[in-house]
């Protein structure tokens, strides 16, 4: 066997000593993640061009020539349908794309778009509608031709409309079978107390929708004077204006201006129960939130991040899930709305025999936020998390331009994203405490529990008079 010389062995030993010392020195200098210091977050807002078209349509463009792709999004204002036809916007919004046109059957549109790897989608709800397209630059003429025909000449194939209605009705049945979906639906009704914002489609309202209703929806609301367009990708401003002026020449102003019913801010404290023969209890507690234009909205976002929106670090999650082990999911959402008011809700899914304990813990955390408020460190951690999250809004031109057209449509300043960023940076612990005192109302919560109360750890009536909500007869009969 070959033996190495003493000199070689000593040299190897010396190298080993040097490496070990260097490694030890590096370990000695290592720090915990919390000890690391980073430069302040900085981001550069891309250039945004305003667009004005001959037919009255306006919007925004962010050029991005890195790859030969163009994304177009058109938002339009929708409207609450009559009470006996709730669900109309969903049927009409879907049918714009999927009902074909007078020049292109749906199958032809599908084939043409699939052949070039492009897509066009459409949808709508009670407040807004959306039509979007994504395609390679070389296919601009083809996609714009199809898109314009969908906007101007939708055929609204009756068979496709009936298909959509059947799909929605089946979804309604499945939602009623799902305790969580059922709870969210009924909770909205309790919060909005008869206002159209709380209405949900039923089998009857969907069945009442006719093709004429769909045609009227399109005629009234899918108009350039009721819409905003956002374009991002491989196209210049001059090209965009020239191409769309030509493609959209027949898409003309008209229709009616959507009117959203006045919504009064009100608290509707009540205790509500829906029987479901399930092994879990689904708990909801909350009230109306603020309007999106409220200057305290960013501070409310920080507050809710600490209360229940910050995943495992939030109070509700830690107390209900981590400390007590009562629920896998426990959280809160503070969701402002652009027209009227949004909702605040704390929610969890827990064991039936722990329903009241979980509810009690959630309420105590809401009370704690209102009376005590968070620590300076909790506010700082929430701010940093939200600031880091905010940066991702700038990760793609398409995502950013979608934000801009949404702000335009609902009447918010176009620099709302930057304003929010600055507001997060300025927020202090006293700001959060002030907002919690003003906008949280633990003494006036609307409470809803879905489950089997005969197995609850305490009677729900311990909290007061209970309103029992009967689910629709046809749903229970299934």
Q: Which of 25-34, 71-80, 183-192, 209-218 has the lowest mean pLDDT?
A: 25-34
Residue 473's pLDDT band (cuts 50, 70, 90):
very low
Per mean pLDDT, which range of 31-40, 139-148, 175-184 is the poorest? Answer: 31-40
Phi, psi of 208 (to 5 degrees): -75, -15
Q: Which pLDDT value is given to residue 471?
A: 79
Residues 359-384: tens digit of each pLDDT:
999 999 999 999 999 999 999 999 99
Max alpha carbon distance in the chain (Å)?
A: 98
Q: How far is CA 421 from CA 39, 361, 380, in A?
A: 16, 32, 14
CA 465 to chain CA mean position, Å? 34
Look at residue 166 and give its three-state secondary structure.
helix
- H helix or E strand, kind and range, residue 232: strand 227-233
Residue 474's pLDDT is what?
40
DSSP structural state of residue 82: P
Q: At what angle do helices 106-116 and 140-152 cross, to 10 degrees?
A: 160
- Dump pLDDT digits (tens) for 414-429: 999 999 999 999 999 9
Count other C-beta atoms under 10 Å from residue 277's C-beta: 7
Please count the other Cβ atoms lying within 10 Å of the Cβ belonging to residue 256. 12
Of 150, 162, 255, 163, whose CA–CA distance to 210 is shortest?
A: 162
pLDDT for res 453: 95
Q: How far apart (Å, rounded) are the C-alpha atoms in residues 200 and 185?
A: 7
Question: Is there a contact between 63 and 236 (Cβ–Cβ < 8 Å)?
Answer: yes
Residue ranges per structural domain of the chain: 49-247, 270-476
Q: Are the C-beta atoms of 255 and 416 separated by less than 8 Å?
A: no
- For residue 176, name the pLDDT band (cuts at 50, 70, 90): confident
113-172 confidence digits (pLDDT tens): 999 999 999 999 999 999 999 999 999 999 999 999 999 999 999 999 999 999 999 999
pTM: 0.86
Please say whether the beta carbons of 260 and 79 come within 8 A: yes
Same fold across 49-247 and 270-476 = yes
CATH number 3.30.830.10 given to 49-247: yes
Q: Which residues contact 306 (CB under 8 A, 6 or more apart)?
A: 314, 315, 369, 374, 378, 379, 382, 432
CA atoms of 9 and 168, how far apart (whole Å): 79
CATH of 270-476, one of 3.40.1130.10, 3.30.830.10, 3.40.470.10, 3.40.50.1980: 3.30.830.10
């Amino acid at each position: 066997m070959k033996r190495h010389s003493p000199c070689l062995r000593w040299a190897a030993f010396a190298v080993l000593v040097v490496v070990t010392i260097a490694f030890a020195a590096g370990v000695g200098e290592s720090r915990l993640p919390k000890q690391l210091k980073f430069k302040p977050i900085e981001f550069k807002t891309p250039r945004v061009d305003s667009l004005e078209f001959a037919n009255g349509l306006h919007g925004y463009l962010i050029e991005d020539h890195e790859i030969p792709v163009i994304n177009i999004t058109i938002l339009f204002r929708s409207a609450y349908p009559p009470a006996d036809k709730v669900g109309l916007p969903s049927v009409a919004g879907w049918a714009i794309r999927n009902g074909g046109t007078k020049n292109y059957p749906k199958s032809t549109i599908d084939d043409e778009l699939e052949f070039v790897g492009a897509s066009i989608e459409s949808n709508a709800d009670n407040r807004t509608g959306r039509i979007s397209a994504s395609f390679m630059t070389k296919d601009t003429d083809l996609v714009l031709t199809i898109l314009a025909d969908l906007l101007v000449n939708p055929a609204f194939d009756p068979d496709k409309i009936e298909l959509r209605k059947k799909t929605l009705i089946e979804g309604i049945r499945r939602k009623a079978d799902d305790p969580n979906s059922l709870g969210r639906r009924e909770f909205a009704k309790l919060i909005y107390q008869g206002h159209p914002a709380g209405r949900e489609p039923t089998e009857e309202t969907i069945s009442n929708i006719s093709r004429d209703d769909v045609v009227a929806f399109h005629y009234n609301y899918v108009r350039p004077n009721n819409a905003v367009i956002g374009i991002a990708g491989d196209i210049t401003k001059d090209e965009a204006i020239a191409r769309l002026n030509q493609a959209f020449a027949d898409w003309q102003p008209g229709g009616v201006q959507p009117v959203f019913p006045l919504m009064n801010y009100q608290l509707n404290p009540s205790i509500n129960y829906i029987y479901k023969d399930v092994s879990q209890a689904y708990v909801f507690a909350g009230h109306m939130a603020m309007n999106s234009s409220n200057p305290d909205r960013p501070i409310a976002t920080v507050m809710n991040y600490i209360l229940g929106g910050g995943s495992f670090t939030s109070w509700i999650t830690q107390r209900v899930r981590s400390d007590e082990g009562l629920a896998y999911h426990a959280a809160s959402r503070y969701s402002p709305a652009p027209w009227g008011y949004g909702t605040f809700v704390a929610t969890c899914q827990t064991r039936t025999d722990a329903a009241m304990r979980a509810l009690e813990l959630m309420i105590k955390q809401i009370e704690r936020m209102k009376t005590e408020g968070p620590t300076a460190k909790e506010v700082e951690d929430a701010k940093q998390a939200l600031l880091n999250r905010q940066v991702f809004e700038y990760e793609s031109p398409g995502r950013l331009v979608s934000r801009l057209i949404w702000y335009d449509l609902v009447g918010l300043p176009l620099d709302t994203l930057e304003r929010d960023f600055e507001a997060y940076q300025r927020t202090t612990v006293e700001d959060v405490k002030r907002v919690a005192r003003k906008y949280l109302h633990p003494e006036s919560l609307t409470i809803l529990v879905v489950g089997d109360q005969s197995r609850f750890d305490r009677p729900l009536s311990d909290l007061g008079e209970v309103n029992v909500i009967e689910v629709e007869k046809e749903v229970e009969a299934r």
